[in-house]
Structure 1
Amino acid sequence: MKNHKSLIILSALFFTFLLSGCDDFLDSQPYSFTSRENFYTTEAEAEIALVGCYNSINGGGDTFGQFLPYILSGTTDECIARDGITNQVTPFGLASYISSDQKLASVWSTFYEGINRANHLLAQLNEIEDMSDERREEVRAEARFLRGIYHMYLTMMFGGVPVKTEPDPESGPRNSTEEVFAQIVEDLRFAYETLPETAGISGAATKWAAAGYLAKVYAYMGSAKKSGMGNELDFDLNSFDWVDANEAYANLLTLTTDIVDNSGYQLTENYAYLFRETTRGAQSEEFLFAAEASSSATNMITNRYGNAWLPYGPPAIGGNNSRWFGPLSELFDKYHPTHLTDMRRANNITRNMTANSEVEEIEGGRYYVPRIATGPNDGWLTPGKWRQRDPAQKDIPQWASDAPYPLIRFADILLLHAEALYENNDEPAARAVLTRIRERAAGEDIDVAVLDDEYYKADFLEELLDERSRELCYESQRRFDLARFGAYDEVIRSLQKDRGVFNPTVGTLQLNWAPYRMWFPIPLAELDLNPELEQNPGY
C-alpha cells in the first residue's frame, strides 16, 4: 500500500494550522472555513482542509474517540451502566437520555461540522489551479465519502435529519429518511466509483471503505423496511415505507460480493490482535476503515478505552478502567459455555489483572493478561475487548491509546454478505459464511461444527443477529442492529434482572425503555436555534 503520508501526521498539521500561537500565524490574515477567498487556494491547503473533514470521526472525543461507543453500545443487551455510577454517559446505559444531554448535542454538532467542512471544500475544489485532475477527483470523492457517512450516523441515530449539501446553509426543517438516505447513497456511490482501491495517505478512505459503508446503508434500509421499523410510532419523517427491500438486498449482495471477491481484505488469523495497540499489521488486513490514533505525544490524536473497554487493573500496567459500563449476562450467554471453544469470549469479557498477572509479548508490546471470566457473576467483570500495553513503553499518557477503533472490518462485511445471501434465497450459502467466521473463533483442536451446533437457530436472522453481537460487540453496531431488525423492544424486555454482576440495573433500564427510544431526541440546543426542527415523538 502506498502510504507516503499519514492521516495522523496531517491531522496534527491541521490542528497547528488552526490553533497555533506562533507569531507567523497571528500576524497573518486568519484562514477560516467560512472565508472562501482566503482558503483553498492551493493543493496543500486543500489537503489540510480535507484532514479537517476527517477530524469529526474522533475529534474532540465526543464521537468515536471516546464517547460515541457508549452512546451506541449502551441501552442494548451487550452492556449497561454500572449501579452507583452517575456521569455524562450513564443515561445512554439506562435509556434515560433526554434532549438536553450535552453529549448528544456534541455528536450532532461535530458531525454537522464535518459535513460543513466537506461542503466548503467541495465548493472550492474547481478553483484550485495547482492540483491535478486525478487528485481533484479523489479529494472530491473523499469529501463526499465523509459527508455521506456523517449523514448516515446522524440519520441512524436521530431518524430524519436536515440534509446539508452547501456551505454554511441556512436553518431549515428535517428531511425525511427517504431524502437523507438518497443523499447518502449518492455520495457513497460516487466515492465507491471514484476512489482508488488503496490510499496514498494511511487511514484515508478508499473504494472499499465506501463500498462497505454503502453496503451497511442498503442492509439498514432493507431490514428496516422488512421489519416495519418504527411503524408503531406513526411518524412520517422516520418512516421506511418508501424502501424497496428487494432492491436494497440485491444491491447489498452485489456490493458485498465485490468486497469479498476483490478487495484483498481478509479475516486476520488472530481475533485478539484486532484490539491490541501493537498489531497494526493484523488490523490492516481486516479494517476497511477506522477511527485512527497516534503514538505521538506531540499531536495527541488518540482513542480512549479506559472508562469501560479495558480489563480492570492498575493504570501502571495498562488498566485504568473506571467500569462505567459492564457486560450483561445476555452477552456472556451468547458464547459457548467453554471459553476455549469460542476464543472471542475470553477476549471480549474479562476479569481483572494485577502486577502479578501473566505477561505476554505481542509484536513489541508488553501486555498484562487478565483473569478468565467463567460466568457473568464473576467479580471485576469488564468489557475488556481492547488491551493497552505497559505504559512504560508509550510516549502518550497511560489513559490514551494509539489503537484504532474499527468502524468497518471484513468480518462485518461477511456478516452483511450472509444477510444478503439469505435475503436473496440462498440460506445454505448464508450459513456457510457464518461457519467461515466461526472457524477463526474456534479454539485449538475445536471442530467448528461444535460452534455451528451450539449457535444454531431455526430462524436464520435470529442466529445472524446473535453472531453479529458475538463478533462485533462494543463496536457501535448493536443499537442499529436491534432497531433495523425490529428486535429492540423484545430484547430489552427480556433482559434478566437476577443473573450477572451488572444486571441489577436492568430494572431501571426497562422502566425507562419505550420503543420510541430507538431514536435519540433532537438536541434541545438545536431546537432552540432552529424552530423549524420537529422533535421525535415521545420526548
Structure 2
Amino acid sequence: MKNINIFKVATLALLMGTASCTNLDVIPKNAAVGDVVFTDPAAYKQSLAKVYAGLAIGGQASGDDNSDISGINGGFSQYIRMYFNLQELPTDEAVIGWNDGSIQTLHFHTWTSQSEFINAMFNRVYFQVSMANEFLRQTTDDLLTSRGNTDAIKADVKQYRAEVRFLRALSYWHGLDMFGSIPLVPETNPIGTEGPGQPEGGKQEVFNYIESELLTAIDDLGQPGTMEYARVDQAAAWTLLAKLYLNAEVYTGTKKYTEALTYLNKVIASNAFSLDPVFNNLFLTDNYKSPEIIFPVAFDGTNTKTYGGTTYLCHASVGGDKMKPADYGLDGGWAGLRTTANIVNLFGPADSRAIFFTDGQTKDIPGTPNTSFNQGYAHPKFQNVSSAGTKGSNSTFADTDFPMFRLADVYLMYAEAVLRGGTGGDQATALDYVNKLRVRAYGNTNGNIQTGDLTLSFIIDERGRELSWECHRRTDLVRFGLLTTSESSDARAIWAWKGGAKAAGEQTETFRNVFPIPSAALTANTKLKQNDGY
C-alpha cells in the first residue's frame, strides 16, 4: 500500500471543524485555535494536511460524517464528486441514472441557481479558501517568531505556505472556470462579517490574482519529483499556470497561448515525469506508482473513507445485469454513471483507452438518462483493483487516486497552444507528443497521425479519448465553443438529451457556459451579483 504521510499526520484528529461557507468568510471552528493549537510545531504540518484533505474527504469523521459544509451530506458533496458532476454531467462524456434532487438538470442544461449541486461546489471552493486563509493567518513570520519556532520549522512552514497558496489558487481557478467573476476573500478579512462581492475588475481581476499567487508561490515549492507523495511541487504550479493561460481567452478575451507554452515546456523539461507504459494503470489502486501523474488527489480505502472521490467514480460506473462488482474490487455497484454515443464513437476498435462495458448495454440512450442503467455504455475507467488484479484494501471505499494533472494532458495542451498560434513550440514537436499517446493507446504506430491531421478539431476529440472522466470536458468544450451553442453548427455540440427535450439533444443558451451564483450565496451576501441569464 502507498504511504500517504500527508494524510496520516494528526490532522484527522480534527484541528478544524465544520463550517457553512455561504457567506464566503467563515473559518473552520474549534475552541483550540491560534496559539493554543500551534504551541506544538507538528501542528503546522497537521494543518497543512487538512487543507489537502479538503480535496479528498467531505466531513470530519469516517465516511464523510459531520459534513464540512451545511445543508448537504458530506459524501454527496465531496470536492472531487461535485467537481466531476459539474465538469462531466453537462457534457457528452457522462449521464447519470439517478433522480436525486436536481441532478438530472445538469445534463439537461436546465439547472438554476437553486441547484444543491451547484451550491455545494461553490461552497467547496470557499471552504478550501477559508482553510487556506486560516493557515496563512496563523503562519506569518511574526507569529512564528513569537511562538519560539526554530529556523528549521520556519523554513518548513515557508514551503507549507507556498503549497497552501497553490491549493487556494487551484480552488479559485475552479471557481473562475465554473462561475466566472467570483469574490476574492482576503486572508486578513475580519471574521464574522459579510464577505466581499465580486471584484470590480471582474474575471480579469480574478485571473490576475490566481496568476500572481502561483508566480509568487513557485520559488518556495519543491523541485519536481522531490516531494512527498501527493504534495504540490513546482511542476504542479507550472501546469496550473498553463491551464490558466490556455483558457485565458475564455476568461478575459486575451490570448495567452505563448505563456501557456512557457510553463508547459518547464514541466516537460523537468524530466520528472514520463508516460505510464500502460494507460489503464493510471486509474487503478496502484496508480501512485505512475511516473505520469503530476498532482494527484490521494485516496485510501482505510485512511480516507469517503463516498465521494474515486469511491464514487468506481461504484457509480458499475451496474446493470451483467457487470460484476467484485471484478472491479467493489462490494456493489451503484448503477449510475454511463457515457453517450458521441464519446464511444470517438474511439477506433484497437484503442486501449476505450474502457467500455457493452454486454447488456445499448450505445444509444432512447429514454431519459435516469430511465435505465442499461442505456448508454458503462465506462468503468476508475477501478478499485491494482494492475496485478489485487482488490483494494476496502471494497466499499476505493484506494485509487484521482489524477488532477498528468503528463498526457500537458502534451495535448502543448499541441493545442501551438495550433492556436502560441510561440515557444512547434508543430513537429506537438505531433511527436500526440503520437506518443497514440502509440501507447494502440500498442504500435498504427494509430499515429500525420502533420496534416494535427488540427484543433483533432485535439478536442483526442482530449475526449485520452482524458474522459478526468474533469476536463466541460472546460474543453467551452474553450472550443461546443458546450452550449456552436457558432459553426458543429455536430459535436449536440449529444443525447442535451437540452432535456429530446433523445437526440439540442443546442442550449450560451449563458450556460458558466453556472449561476447559488441563490443561497446571494441571500447570505447581498454584495454578490448574479451571472447574466440566470
**Do the aligned partners of 2:499 and 2:506 also contact (CA within 8 Å) in 1?**
no
In structure 2, C-alpha distance between the alignment counterparts of 1:431 and 1:185, rounded to whole Å = 29
- The residue identity in structure 1 corresponding to 2:246 is A
How far did 1:375 drift? 5.8
The residue number in structure 1 matching 2:252 is 240
* 1:90 aligns to 2:104 (yes or no): yes
- The residue identity in structure 2 corresponding to 1:173 is G
Q: 1:59 aligns with which of 37, 57, 60?
A: 57
The residue number in structure 2 matching 1:44 is 42
In structure 1, C-alpha distance between the alignment counterparts of 2:526 and 2:91, rounded to whole Å = 32
- Are the structure 2 counterparts of residues 392 and 343 from structure 1 closer, same or farther at C-alpha, using a change threshold of 3 Å? closer
- Are the structure 2 counterparts of residues 438 and 316 from structure 1 closer, same or farther at C-alpha, using a change threshold of 3 Å? closer
Secondary structure at 1:406's aligned position in 2?
strand
* 1:172 aligns to 2:196 (yes or no): yes
Question: Which shows bigger deviation, 427-436 or 326-335?
Answer: 427-436
* 1:441 aligns to 2:441 (yes or no): yes
The residue number in structure 1 matching 2:417 is 420
The residue number in structure 1 matching 2:344 is 332
- Are the structure 2 counterparts of residues 7 and 140 from structure 1 closer, same or farther at C-alpha, using a change threshold of 3 Å? same
How far did 1:70 drift? 1.9
- Are the structure 2 counterparts of residues 159 and 19 from structure 1 closer, same or farther at C-alpha, using a change threshold of 3 Å? closer
Q: 1:261 aligns with which of 269, 280, 288?
A: 269
The residue number in structure 2 matching 1:274 is 282
The residue number in structure 1 matching 2:130 is 116
How far did 1:504 drift? 11
* 1:406 aligns to 2:389 (yes or no): no
In structure 2, C-alpha distance between the alignment counterparts of 1:429 and 1:259, rounded to whole Å = 15
The residue number in structure 2 matching 1:360 is none
**Do the aligned partners of 2:438 and 2:445 also contact (CA within 8 Å) in 1?**
no
In structure 2, C-alpha distance between the alignment counterparts of 1:509 and 1:180, rounded to whole Å = 37
How far did 1:531 drift? 1.0
Q: 1 or 2, which has the higher helix percentage? A: 1
How far did 1:124 drift? 2.2
In structure 1, C-alpha distance between the alignment counterparts of 2:282 and 2:136, rounded to whole Å = 34
In structure 1, C-alpha distance between the alignment counterparts of 2:170 and 2:119, rounded to whole Å = 18
* 1:130 aligns to 2:133 (yes or no): no
Q: Percent identity?
A: 21
The residue number in structure 2 matching 1:233 is none
Secondary structure at 1:408's aligned position in 2?
strand
- The residue identity in structure 2 corresponding to 1:494 is A
- The residue identity in structure 2 corresponding to 1:300 is K
In structure 1, C-alpha distance between the alignment counterparts of 2:392 and 2:414, rounded to whole Å = 39
- Are the structure 2 counterparts of residues 510 and 386 from structure 1 closer, same or farther at C-alpha, using a change threshold of 3 Å? same
- Are the structure 2 counterparts of residues 406 and 464 from structure 1 closer, same or farther at C-alpha, using a change threshold of 3 Å? same
The residue number in structure 1 matching 2:301 is 295
- Are the structure 2 counterparts of residues 184 and 447 from structure 1 closer, same or farther at C-alpha, using a change threshold of 3 Å? same
- Are the structure 2 counterparts of residues 19 and 40 from structure 1 closer, same or farther at C-alpha, using a change threshold of 3 Å? closer
In structure 1, C-alpha distance between the alignment counterparts of 2:345 and 2:400, rounded to whole Å = 28
In structure 1, C-alpha distance between the alignment counterparts of 2:246 and 2:84, rounded to whole Å = 21
In structure 2, C-alpha distance between the alignment counterparts of 1:416 and 1:387, rounded to whole Å = 26
In structure 2, C-alpha distance between the alignment counterparts of 1:273 and 1:392, rounded to whole Å = 13
Q: 1:265-414 residue pairs with structure 2 within 5 A? A: 265-282=273-290, 285-296=291-302, 299-300=304-305, 303-304=310-311, 305-310=313-318, 313-318=323-328, 320-336=332-348, 338=349, 340=350, 342-345=351-354, 347=355, 349-351=356-358, 381-389=377-385, 393-396=391-394, 398-414=395-411
How far did 1:310 drift? 4.4
Q: 1:147 aligns with which of 165, 168, 172?
A: 168
How far did 1:402 drift? 1.0
**Do the aligned partners of 1:70 and 1:93 also contact (CA within 8 Å) in 2?**
no
- The residue identity in structure 2 corresponding to 1:148 is A
Q: 1:528 aligns with which of 506, 520, 523?
A: 523
The residue number in structure 1 matching 2:69 is none
The residue number in structure 1 matching 2:7 is 8
How far did 1:395 drift? 4.1
The residue number in structure 1 matching 2:216 is 190
- Given the two structures, how large is their TM-score scaled by the length of structure 1? 0.78
Per-residue CA deviation, residues 101-130 of structure 1 (Å, 9 max, x unaligned), is 122222212221211211121122121232
- The residue identity in structure 1 corresponding to 2:515 is F
- Are the structure 2 counterparts of residues 538 and 493 from structure 1 closer, same or farther at C-alpha, using a change threshold of 3 Å? farther
The residue number in structure 2 matching 1:486 is 481
How far did 1:92 drift? 1.7
- Are the structure 2 counterparts of residues 33 and 95 from structure 1 closer, same or farther at C-alpha, using a change threshold of 3 Å? farther
**Do the aligned partners of 1:8 and 1:294 also contact (CA within 8 Å) in 2?**
no
What is the root-mean-square deviation of aligned Cα atoms in Å? 3.3
- The residue identity in structure 1 corresponding to 2:8 is I
The residue number in structure 1 matching 2:24 is none
Per-residue CA deviation, residues 399-446 of structure 1 (Å, 9 max, x unaligned), is 321101111011011111112333236333323321122111113xx4
- Given the two structures, how large is their TM-score scaled by the length of structure 2? 0.79
The residue number in structure 2 matching 1:362 is none
Per-residue CA deviation, residues 304-336 of structure 1 (Å, 9 max, x unaligned), is 224533475244443533343321111111111
How far did 1:181 drift? 1.0
